[in-house]
Amino acid sequence: MKGALVLTALLAALSMLSILWGEVRVPPGDLWRGLITGEGPGALTVRVLRGPRLATALGAGAALGLSGAIFQTLLRNPLAAPDVMGFNAGAGLAVIATLAAGLTLPMPLVAAAGGVAAALLVAVLGHRKGQADTALTLILVGLGVGFTATGLATFLSLTISDALAIEARRWITGSLAARSWLHAGQVWGMGLVLCLLLAVQARALGLLELGRDLATGLGLNAARARAGLLATGVLLAAAGVAVAGPVPFVALMAGPLGRGLTGARSPALRLAAAAGAGAAIMAAADLVARSALPGIQFPVGVMTGILGAPYLLWLLSRAFGKGEA
Amino acid sequence: MCLAMLFAGAIALTLGAGVQSMSLAAIWGAVVAYDPTDPLHVVLAELRLPRLAAGLIAGTALAVSGSVMQALTRNPLADPGLLGVNAGAAFAVVVGALLMGQNAAWAIAMLAFPGAALAAVAVFLLGGGLSGEPGPIRLTLAGVAVSVLLLSLVNGIVLIRSDALDVYRFWVAGSLAQALQKPLVMLALVTVAGWLLALWLAPLLDTLALGRNLARGLGASPLRVQGGALLAVTLLTGAGVAVAGPIAFVGLIVPPLTRRLTGCHDLRTEVLAAPVVGATVLLLADGVGRLVLAPAEVRVGVMTAIIGGPVFIWIARTLRPGEQR
Amino acid sequence: MTTRQKTAIAPPAFALNRRAVLGGLLGAAVAPAGARAQTAEVWPQRFAHAFGETVLDRPAARVVSLGYTSHDALLALGVVPLALRYWYGDAPFGVWPWAADLLAGAEPVVLTGESGIETVAALQPDLIIGIGSGISQAEYDVLSQVAPVLMHEADSPIYGMGWDALTRILGRATGKADLAETLIAQTTQAFADARARHPDWQGKTGTAAYHFSGEIGAYAAFDGRSRFLTELGFRLTPAIEAYQGEAFYIPMSPEDLSGLEADVLLWLSGTDTDDDLAALPMRRLLASHAQGREVFAGTLTAAAVSYGSILSLPFALQRLESEIALAADGDAATVVPSSAKAGLAP
């Protein structure tokens, strides 16, 4: 399929660039030698610095992209993302609370834990006994949890020193600094497990897309399937956040971008495209974040937004240029 | 009516309560025989009255702009911030404070307003204003895109300049303090202008909700009405952000609250009553913020977010299926 | 990437195995070229810190400073860092005026934002200072593969290590422990001398206060900015001493600033002018204001106090001593220049 080839080529190109390009010029020959033999000036760069960082970026991006695509399909809203469920807000609150308490824990893990806690809270509060969970209910509850979490986080952020505030902000923005093969392994491992789970649930996703009543008519326990898919989505987001922090907009953009690039139709292919697109976004954002301005290293989350906005506008002009108002 | 009592209560709270509590008699004494060396009188005249004024202005601005936004986008979840105004103000404040090397309240207010206005104009143009068809979905997407871009840029700046972060993290919490230092008269005039414009447009917006062609048939040009509505939202939100910083939740919750309290169904009555509700909510939040952790003051934006969250959740849980508001 | 170093020390004749250094293997030979003759420093030196232990087997010469303020101590010790971390401000190379002379034309690489590990690695340092940098355990692990990394002590807050402890550790790491002690004594002496010049400051109260974006208050007793005043002989006010909280500041309501009253009220500001502070209603009712006891520290001076490094503190003292003297003289008629300039004078 032509679209898949485009996406694969894009990923390959971004991966190559990510290895070749960085803060410091390292000759490709040295990089190659470092990769193969583990010796020479390129070894540290490839094996310790850029390699694991790229692998983690690709994994986290894929996980976040998948998560966003699941949410967007289930909630029937192109603006839906784990963010809507208060996930990122919970992640941010957890990070600031930990820093304000003076604890030194790995921040991405703290963020993931906070996000999952927020999502659980949304799931619990959004579930009313004896009534079906509507998308609107979940969105409202998600907004509510998000509001409260953001309010508390803002409050705490005013109580810490300015140096600590920089650290807090960095982790809340999402950072791929000093990623190791352990992190890459962690996100790929969790991601693959969740993908297997998703493969089992893919059929249910397709059915749910047709509409709740039709799906139930076709023998699907809609409520349970939906809850299962949302849980998978949240866990995928958590897997991505656990190694990269709550990077914004990847979950939001990956689905539409993947679909736009590959023209995929079926749910399974669309999810795959979203994973690929998410990986590409993350890799591109990381590349720009660490090499755009000499001497300045932005956390990756800064660039996902800057790269994402023009893309959203392009989507806008295309969709409405065709008259799909 | 209950609303009038709440409003009066809010005013009493703002003027009378705080670190220095004042009785009605004391307030009367200050009005009748002002003594500039009496601490109570100074507190009343230079701290609490300006606070009241700021609360009235911001409450009006946010509430009315929320009403117009929700009517314009026909989306009960539309928040004035969706138009990118908060992001625009944030960008202007951060860049301006950095370039000017100061963060005086007056300077910040004078930066926030044009920033908000320019962002709103950009969103309008990008959302199809030029081609004459700014539909609600296009506007929302454009607003999200502009917000994403500007907030990412702000994030980038504050992550590499600690002094910018300090200005930003305090401003973003939203506050009614230091009101005397801000150009209150000018902002009050802008707010009133926006409110009058909204009042005038209200019936036209209601007509537009019937459908574009029908509206045209009834003599209301969609483009002009939408443009006018956006102008009103820009003026109001700009003034609100300039006075108090970006405050969450008020623009979102006050319109439905107003509708419920007054039992009205048309926009004009809503726009008439919204200022009272908005000011009450804001002043009450501010009052609580000043008392709960005295002598420290919790900023009003933080209070509205923390209170707003549970309110949203409560609404979500009490919504009957199929009910939109 | 080239940097000119002020102190050039011959690179080691044998290849340095960084992992061996980290592993603390005592088999690595002690390099005689690095040992200073003043005292018999024992190499390798071990440093216990929050992320474990770092071992140096020779004095460090090529140093990268990742802490926001740690380069001051290095410059004071005569070691120009290969790279340093940018915090804020417009000073060239991120080095503030009180340390600029010690830079003497060197051009260290300035790291902005996240610590650029590739850049650091390319500089081939033999020591990385992570004290006061806020780097995570993960970053520490990766950086340790480049060079030994020093972190803050386990029971000290991330950014809260004292300037004397910091200087001592860096002195030990660069083989200049004696010089470090001398410098610490010098700075301590500067404050003692100031105390001796103004015996009337003993027993008077002083408050280090802040005003930022509508928040007002005083710094807590253990904060370096309050200690600046107590080192000069001032007492802190009862309100501040009674504070039991953990935060480094004590917020006050703009409606009641009486907690700031003191014989010297030192305002530390991030800007050179603060119109909002001048216009603060309740400040004008303070006795400290009416009697001309306020001192205003603008951008540079306040930064020097807040930085709290071995170089910045004497610098701040120099600029503030006469101001504080005028404020504390008990005579309302004497005008404190900084206050007058900032519009705070009665």
pLDDT band at A265 (very low <50, low <70, confident <90, very high): confident
Distance from CA of B13 to the nearest CA of C (A): 15
Q: Is the pLDDT of residue A44 over 60?
A: yes
Cross-chain residue pair B302–A136, CB shorter than 8 Å: no
C249 three-class SS: strand
**Contacts with B163 (C-beta within 8 Å, 6 or more apart), sequence order:** B98, C88, C89, C270
State the Cα–Cα distance between residues B172 and B180, nearest whole angstrom.
Answer: 19
Whether the Cβ atoms of residue C277 and residue C269 lie closer than 8 Å to each other: yes
Mean pLDDT over A195-209 rounds to 87
Radius of gyration of chain C (CA): 22
State the Cα–Cα distance between residues B316 and A140, nearest whole angstrom.
Answer: 6
Which of A45, A159, A296 lies nearest to residue C247, judging by beta carbons?
A159
Question: Tell me, what's the pLDDT at B318?
Answer: 78
Please calculate the CA angle C123-C129-C131 and round it to the nearest 5 degrees.
155
State the Cα–Cα distance between residues C330 and C323, nearest whole angstrom.
Answer: 13
Whether the Cβ atoms of residue B132 and residue B125 lie closer than 8 Å to each other: no
pTM of structure: 0.88
What letter represents residue C222's amino acid?
A: F
What does the pLDDT look like over C60-105, one tens digit per residue? 999 999 999 999 999 999 999 999 999 988 889 999 999 999 988 8
Cross-chain residue pair B19–C255, CB shorter than 8 Å: yes
Numbered residues of chain B with Cβ closer than 8 Å to any chain C Cβ: 18-20, 37, 39, 42-43, 46-47, 101-106, 159-163, 166-167, 170-171, 175, 177-178, 180-181, 290, 294-297
**Contacts with C318 (C-beta within 8 Å, 6 or more apart), sequence order:** none
Q: Is the pLDDT of residue A225 over 90?
A: no
For residue C44, cis peptide bond before it (omega within 30 degrees of 0): yes
A316/B contact by beta carbon, under 8 A: yes
Whether the Cβ atoms of residue C270 and residue C304 lie closer than 8 Å to each other: no
Cα–Cα distances in angstroms (integers) from residue A286 to residues A55, A176, A240, B149, C251, in the given order: 11, 8, 14, 17, 40
Cβ contacts of A167 on chain C, cutoff 8 Å: 134, 158
Whether the Cβ atoms of residue A91 and residue A240 lie closer than 8 Å to each other: no
Cα C303 from chain centroid (whole Å): 9
What does the pLDDT look like over C291-311, one tens digit per residue? 989 999 999 999 999 989 999
Question: Tell me, what's the pLDDT at B134?
Answer: 57
Which of B46, B180, B295 lies nearest to residue C253, judging by beta carbons?
B295
Concatenate the DSSP letters of all residues of A223-249 into one string.
HHHHHHHHHHHHHHHHHHHHHH---SS
Cross-chain residue pair C158–A164, CB shorter than 8 Å: yes
Which of C116, C122, C143 lies nearest to residue A297, judging by beta carbons?
C116
Question: Tell me, what's the pLDDT at B321?
Answer: 53
C89/B contact by beta carbon, under 8 A: yes
State the Cα–Cα distance between residues B45 and C336, nearest whole angstrom.
Answer: 29
Mean pLDDT over A212-218 rounds to 75
Distance from CA of C216 to the nearest CA of B (A): 9
Cross-chain residue pair B316–A313, CB shorter than 8 Å: no
Distance from CA of C122 to the nearest CA of A (A): 7
Which of A49, A177, A295 lies nearest to residue C111, judging by beta carbons?
A295
Whether the Cβ atoms of residue A222 and residue A93 lie closer than 8 Å to each other: no
- Search chain B and give the residue with CA nearest A172: B155
- C20 vs C191, higher pLDDT: C191
Whether the Cβ atoms of residue C296 and residue C338 lie closer than 8 Å to each other: yes
State the Cα–Cα distance between residues B265 and B71, nearest whole angstrom.
Answer: 12
Cα–Cα distances in angstroms (integers) from residue C32 to residues B182, B195, C41, C74, C130, in the given order: 66, 81, 11, 22, 27
Question: Tell me, what's the pLDDT at A22?
Answer: 85
pLDDT band at C142 (very low <50, low <70, confident <90, very high): very high
What is the percentage of chain C residues whose pLDDT exceeds 90? 58
Please calculate the CA angle C172-C176-C182 and round it to the nearest 5 degrees.
105
Distance from CA of C247 to the nearest CA of A (A): 8
State the Cα–Cα distance between residues B41 and B77, nearest whole angstrom.
Answer: 43
Write the ipTM: 0.87
- Search chain B and give the residue with CA nearest C213: B170
Whether the Cβ atoms of residue C103 and residue C75 lie closer than 8 Å to each other: yes
Neighbours of chain B (3+ CB pairs under 8 A): A, C
State the Cα–Cα distance between residues A303 and A131, nearest whole angstrom.
Answer: 41
Burial annotation B134-166 (CB, 10 A radius, 16+ → b, else e): bbbbbbbbbbbbbbbbbbbbbbbbbbbbbbbbb
Which of C251, C274, C285 lies nearest to residue B295, judging by beta carbons?
C251
- Token representation of residue B149: 């871009």
Mean pLDDT over A100-128 rounds to 89
Cβ contacts of C118 on chain A, cutoff 8 Å: 22-24, 45, 49-50
Q: Is the pLDDT of residue C34 over 60?
A: no
Q: Is the pLDDT of residue C146 over 90?
A: yes
What is the percentage of chain A residues whose pLDDT exceeds 70? 94
Whether the Cβ atoms of residue C4 and residue C107 lie closer than 8 Å to each other: yes
CB burial class (10 A; 0-12, 13-18, 19+) of residue C15?
Answer: exposed
> Which segment of C4-8, C229-233, C254-258 scores lowest on mean pLDDT?
C4-8
Cross-chain residue pair B301–A154, CB shorter than 8 Å: yes
- Search chain B and give the residue with CA nearest C111: B160
A306/B contact by beta carbon, under 8 A: yes
Measuring CA to CA, which residue among C16, C274, C1 is closest to residue C145? C16
- Token representation of residue C58: 């020779």
Max alpha carbon distance in chain A (Å)? Answer: 66
- Token representation of residue A96: 């600031």
Distance from CA of B190 to the nearest CA of A (A): 28
Cα–Cα distances in angstroms (integers) from residue A228 to residues A232, A310, C343, in the given order: 6, 34, 65
What does the pLDDT look like over C153-166, one tens digit per residue? 988 888 888 899 99
pLDDT band at A131 (very low <50, low <70, confident <90, very high): low
A120/B contact by beta carbon, under 8 A: no
Measured over the CA atoms of residue C206, residue C208, residue C213 and residue C214, the dihedral's sign is negative
Cβ contacts of A302 on chain B, cutoff 8 Å: 152, 155-156, 159
Q: Are strands C215-219 and C206-212 parallel, antiparallel or unpaired?
A: antiparallel
C297 three-class SS: strand
Please calculate the CA angle C99-C173-A50 and round it to the nearest 5 degrees.
85
State the Cα–Cα distance between residues B225 and C324, nearest whole angstrom.
Answer: 63
Which of B43, B159, B295 lies nearest to residue C252, judging by beta carbons?
B295
Q: What is the mean pLDDT of chain C?
A: 85
What does the pLDDT look like over A166-178, one tens digit per residue? 989 999 998 999 9
Neighbours of chain A (3+ CB pairs under 8 A): B, C
State the Cα–Cα distance between residues C214 and C279, nearest whole angstrom.
Answer: 11
Distance from CA of A14 to the nearest CA of C (A): 19
Q: What is the pLDDT along chain B (325 residues), one digit of tens a residue?
A: 677 778 888 888 888 777 777 777 777 777 777 888 888 888 888 888 899 999 999 999 999 999 998 888 777 777 777 778 899 999 999 999 989 888 889 999 999 999 999 998 888 888 766 555 556 677 777 888 898 899 999 999 999 888 899 999 999 999 998 888 899 999 999 999 999 999 999 988 888 777 766 767 776 677 788 888 888 988 999 999 999 999 978 888 888 888 888 877 788 888 999 999 999 999 999 999 988 887 888 999 999 999 888 888 887 787 665 444 4
State the Cα–Cα distance between residues A70 and A57, nearest whole angstrom.
Answer: 20
What is the length of chain A?
Answer: 325
Which of C86, C213, C254 lies nearest to residue B167, judging by beta carbons?
C213
Question: Tell me, what's the pLDDT at A130?
Answer: 65
State the Cα–Cα distance between residues B233 and B271, nearest whole angstrom.
Answer: 12
What is the percentage of chain C residues whose pLDDT exceeds 70? 88
Distance from CA of C113 to the nearest CA of A (A): 5
What does the pLDDT look like over C307-330, one tens digit per residue? 899 999 999 999 999 999 999 888
Which of C112, C122, C137 lies nearest to residue A295, judging by beta carbons?
C112
What backbone phi and psi angles, to 5 degrees, belong to A179?
Answer: -80, 140
Q: Are strands C127-129 and C83-85 parallel, antiparallel or unpaired?
A: unpaired
Torsion of CA B137, B142, B144, B147, to 10 degrees: -160
Neighbours of chain C (3+ CB pairs under 8 A): A, B
A169/B contact by beta carbon, under 8 A: yes
